[in-house]
Structure 1
Amino acid sequence: MRTTFHLKTLAVAIATLSVASMTNAAGLDRSGQDVTAFLQDGTYAEAVYTYIDADVSGKDSANNVPSNNTYVKGGNTGDIAEAYDFFRYGVKTDINDTFSIGVLYDEPFGAAAEYKGDSNFVSKGDINASITQLTGGRFNALTVGDEITRQTGIAQSPTSTPAERAAAAATATNLSTAVAAARAEAATAGENTNVEVRSESLTGILGMKFGANKEFQVYGGPVAQRIRADVKLRGLAYGPATGYTSTSNPDMDYGYIAGISYSKPEIALKAALTYRSEIDHDIDIAENYPLLAVRALAAGATPAQAAAAANRKSNYEVTTPESVNLDFQTGINPTTLATAKVRWVPWSDFSITPPLYNDVSKLNPLYSENGLNLVDYDDDQWMVELGLAKRVAPALAISGTVGWDSGAGDPTTSLGPIDGYYSVGLGAKYNVTENWAVSAGGKYLWFGDAKGRLPTGKIVGDFQDNDGYILGLKLSYQDIK
């Protein structure tokens, strides 16, 4: 005799999982771009609030010489992770037994980090101490000028060998850059390194069921996405880039979603594979690079000319990555549901390359061909989460999840030094009425250790033994005819 698991009785257990299963630590991933609201039966609507609080701290590097990439354990960075929250909404209804429509809103990508305290990611403003650190303790503000003159003389002397001239020229350039970086840091004394990225996404979906029992469904539709970002690099950890500031104005652009699902109501089985496209953003950006102003003044420019050299308004392209989500559930018995989620995002293809930042990096012969990205990642992200939900009373269900996120590589950007996580989550849902329900959930995360790296490859921080938690609250409505 075949056992039947009616979705009506399991509905209380199905939706509770998503409250505690919504964030990812790789790259800029935040919401996981969940589409399960559209996969619910009948008419369904939800409003979800998520709060994230992480503790990400480590040690900076005591080596602030830009040309030396060796990591030397330094002082405490303090907690750099800013508390972060976002909303998600979804509504879906069946037009008839073949067609369904839905609209989803989420905030898919984001970042919020700030270095505070006395680390090398905060501008101190002491030119003499900065020159000493940037030159590895060899010089200070009184002696570095004489050494630059001496090395320049060797580089220009006809009695020097070609090798001596090349070495002296490189040394003079490095020392001049250290002086300029120290003066650039002084211009932003007391300021912290800070990054904030926010995004919003609105997805329209049309689904069509087919098959002998309408067990298959194909779905897809347009996606409108808005993104903005603010970045401040401060402190000797960033070497010549200290003081760099950029503001990327909000930009709206468009992509698409497509997927296929299968359901077998007799055992409460549902499986869905969802693809989201890349979205190309052409973003207006304002950048300020103090190093250019210092160099312009040293070359005899007026203050107005120096300010103009250090500021630029332009535009650049950022492509948010494509992704694939697999959502699976099946009934184990009439009151218990098992779920699995898998997500893939190719963060190794993603980069943020502000034009002025990139152009300045090309002044270094090592990066003269393509310059440097401000942010990029080495690896693709894989996320896996398994869960169980059980109806323990006619109006109450509880759930639990375990998860793993691969991260996007280690070392990674100093603006988000996390290499994936392991997680456990708990959730509960209470049906206030036959149609209305309130869900609450939480997740605890153990973050993977990561080294913070500059675009040059220099390791400037080591972040270990970090963790965080997520809290979610959801109000939902469902009417299954």
Structure 2
Amino acid sequence: MRHPFHLKTLSVAVAALSVASVASAAGLDRSGQDITAFLQDGTYAEAAYTYIDADVTGKDSSGNKIDDIAESYDFFRYGVKTDINDTFSIGVLYDEPFGAAADYSGKNDFVSNEQNPSLPLTPPNGESTNVEVRTESITGIVGAKIGENKNFQVYGGPVAQRVKADVKLRGKAYERADGYTLHTSADQDYGWLAGVAYSKPEIALKAALTYRSEIEHNTQASEVYPFVDYLPAGLGLVSNRSDNIEITTPESVNFDFQTGINPTTLATAKVRWVPWSDFAIVPSLYNDVSKLNSAYGPDGLALVSYDDDQWQVELGLAKRLAPALAISGTVGWDSGAGNPVSSLGPIEGYYSAGLGAKYNVTENWAISAGGKYLWFGDAKGQIPSKTIVSDFESNDGFVLGVKVSYQAQ
């Protein structure tokens, strides 16, 4: 006999759309840092895979076509939790919260296939602008249920995060920074998470507010800046430098909500805030060269920065069609992190629509699959000096996810 979906555990009817959380969203956001695995009842474990494919095309300021710059991107998420007793729970979560994958190609101002008037002695080499940023996080959580009926839960724990990045700026769009290269060594550092949740099982109501701290990484950065060879030797700058760099991944706040509408239908809502306006990548050589131009002030330029904070909202419905089968749908909106935005990720948020399904293979095991279609906001790409160098319009993408889960109560 198949395990039925009871109203008190109707949350399991939500299909794998949460694994298909974000794609090329504001800033470097990727996974959405979901913690709902920890909020499940009893012993719970999941393994999820997400694949992202976006189509981001446009034109440079010279009118040349820019072919799709968004590389396909995938990542995994794992989670396990268990109840020690009716008060305390523990869990471990793994995800890849932030990232970027972009690569220019063709004949445009982001590929070194024409002579750059700012660097007349540099021969064309056909190299293209690209960026790759990857992060990994492991979160340990301890929760305690409080109150007369154990309806409230407070939880928190440490976060270990690893980050690495590679950036190449190529083409005359970057003016004198054409040929600049940055490589950062992988670095692991630590932050924390804290939150509070409320549940009312008789109507499948769960609400959780989760805060994640920023995490400050100090790692080694290797830079190559060919333009420095044109500068007077008396300035004391050389075109190759290895130095420490500080990269602080941002704090965030997530709100997760669900409630039963009737014994077979669940409504869900997610809200996420990330202050990308506080984020910046400031390599020392790039910054020192920019300070030579008085127009950029005493602080110089950051290689990557954003003007606005990110807001993300997603609303959904899940419906049980049979004792072992449920479907769900979502609509969503992401504000983006400003416009104009970095030429390394020229998207101003998105609107999304998704569908998913979950099937209980046995009483404890289930498989979920889902997908989303995304309509990206038009954006103008800018270089760090705020000069607009590209225009991207009418772009879209899709996200696919699959999840295997186990639950015993």
TM range (shorter): over 0.9
Aligned to 1:54: 54
Aligned to 1:261: 197
| 1:476 maps onto 2:405 in alignment | yes
SS at match of 1:309: coil
> For this pair of structures, how many residues does the alignment match?
405
Amino acid at match of 2:58: G
| 1:33 maps onto 2:22 in alignment | no
Structure 2 contact 15–327 (Cα < 8 Å) conserved: no
C-alpha offsets along residues 206-251 of structure 1, whole Å, 9 cap, x if unaligned? Answer: 0000111100000000000000000000000000000000101101
Structure 1 contact 427–440 (Cα < 8 Å) conserved: yes
Aligned to 1:147: none
Amino acid at match of 1:48: A
SS at match of 1:292: helix
Aligned to 2:178: 242
Structure 1 contact 197–230 (Cα < 8 Å) conserved: yes
- The correspondence for 2:331, drawn from 373, 397, 402, is 402
Deviation of 1:20 after TM superposition, in Å, equals 3.7
| 1:183 maps onto 2:131 in alignment | no
Structure 1 contact 17–387 (Cα < 8 Å) conserved: no
Q: Distance between the aligned counterparts of 2:114 and 2:23, measured in 1?
A: 38
Q: Distance between the aligned counterparts of 1:263 and 1:367, measured in 2?
A: 52
Aligned to 2:217: 281
C-alpha offsets along residues 442-475 of structure 1, whole Å, 9 cap, x if unaligned? Answer: 0000000000011111000000000000000100
Amino acid at match of 1:423: S
Aligned to 2:145: 209
Deviation of 1:22 after TM superposition, in Å, equals 4.6
Aligned to 1:361: 290
Q: Distance between the aligned counterparts of 1:381 and 1:395, measured in 2?
A: 37
| 1:421 maps onto 2:350 in alignment | yes
Q: Which runs of 5+ in 2 are unaligned?
A: none
Deviation of 1:385 after TM superposition, in Å, equals 0.1
SS at match of 1:183: coil
Q: Distance between the aligned counterparts of 1:125 and 1:454, measured in 2?
A: 19
Deviation of 1:7 after TM superposition, in Å, equals 2.4
Q: Distance between the aligned counterparts of 1:254 and 1:16, measured in 2?
A: 29
Aligned to 1:6: 7
C-alpha offsets along residues 236-274 of structure 1, whole Å, 9 cap, x if unaligned? Answer: 000000000010110100000000000000100000000
Amino acid at match of 1:41: D
Aligned to 1:455: 384
Aligned to 2:108: 119
Q: 1:24 to 1:242 in 2, by over 3 A?
A: closer
Deviation of 1:23 after TM superposition, in Å, equals 4.4
- The correspondence for 2:313, drawn from 366, 375, 384, is 384
Structure 1 contact 331–338 (Cα < 8 Å) conserved: yes
Aligned to 1:322: 251
Aligned to 1:336: 265
| 1:349 maps onto 2:278 in alignment | yes
Moved over 4 A (4+): none
TM-score computed with the length of structure 2 as normaliser: 0.96
Amino acid at match of 1:55: D
Aligned to 2:229: 293
Amino acid at match of 2:292: L
Q: Distance between the aligned counterparts of 1:430 and 1:22, measured in 2?
A: 23
Deviation of 1:17 after TM superposition, in Å, equals 4.0
Q: Distance between the aligned counterparts of 1:84 and 1:404, measured in 2?
A: 20
Matches within 5 A, 1:428-467: 428-467=357-396
Deviation of 1:198 after TM superposition, in Å, equals 0.2
Deviation of 1:440 after TM superposition, in Å, equals 0.4
C-alpha offsets along residues 112-149 of structure 1, whole Å, 9 cap, x if unaligned? Answer: 000000011000253xxx33xxxxxxxxxxxxxxxxxx
| 1:195 maps onto 2:131 in alignment | yes
Q: Distance between the aligned counterparts of 1:105 and 1:36, measured in 2?
A: 12
Q: Distance between the aligned counterparts of 1:413 and 1:117, measured in 2?
A: 20
Q: 1:22 to 1:450 in 2, by over 3 A?
A: closer
Structure 1 contact 20–426 (Cα < 8 Å) conserved: no
Amino acid at match of 2:213: S
Q: Distance between the aligned counterparts of 1:372 and 1:465, measured in 2?
A: 30
C-alpha offsets along residues 162-193 of structure 1, whole Å, 9 cap, x if unaligned? Answer: xxxxxxxxxxxxxxxx3xx2334x2x611000
Matches within 5 A, 1:12-27: 12-23=12-23, 25-27=25-27
SS at match of 1:228: strand
Could you say which structure has the higher strand fraction?
Answer: 2
Amino acid at match of 1:451: K
Amino acid at match of 2:196: I
Percent of aligned pairs with the same amino acid: 71
Aligned to 2:43: 43
Q: Distance between the aligned counterparts of 1:107 and 1:232, measured in 2?
A: 22
Q: Distance between the aligned counterparts of 1:120 and 1:15, measured in 2?
A: 43
Aligned to 2:89: 100
Q: Distance between the aligned counterparts of 1:340 and 1:41, measured in 2?
A: 19
Q: 1:280 to 1:407 in 2, by over 3 A?
A: same
SS at match of 1:366: helix
SS at match of 2:14: helix
Structure 1 contact 19–439 (Cα < 8 Å) conserved: no
Q: Distance between the aligned counterparts of 2:149 and 2:310, measured in 1?
A: 36
Structure 2 contact 48–78 (Cα < 8 Å) conserved: yes
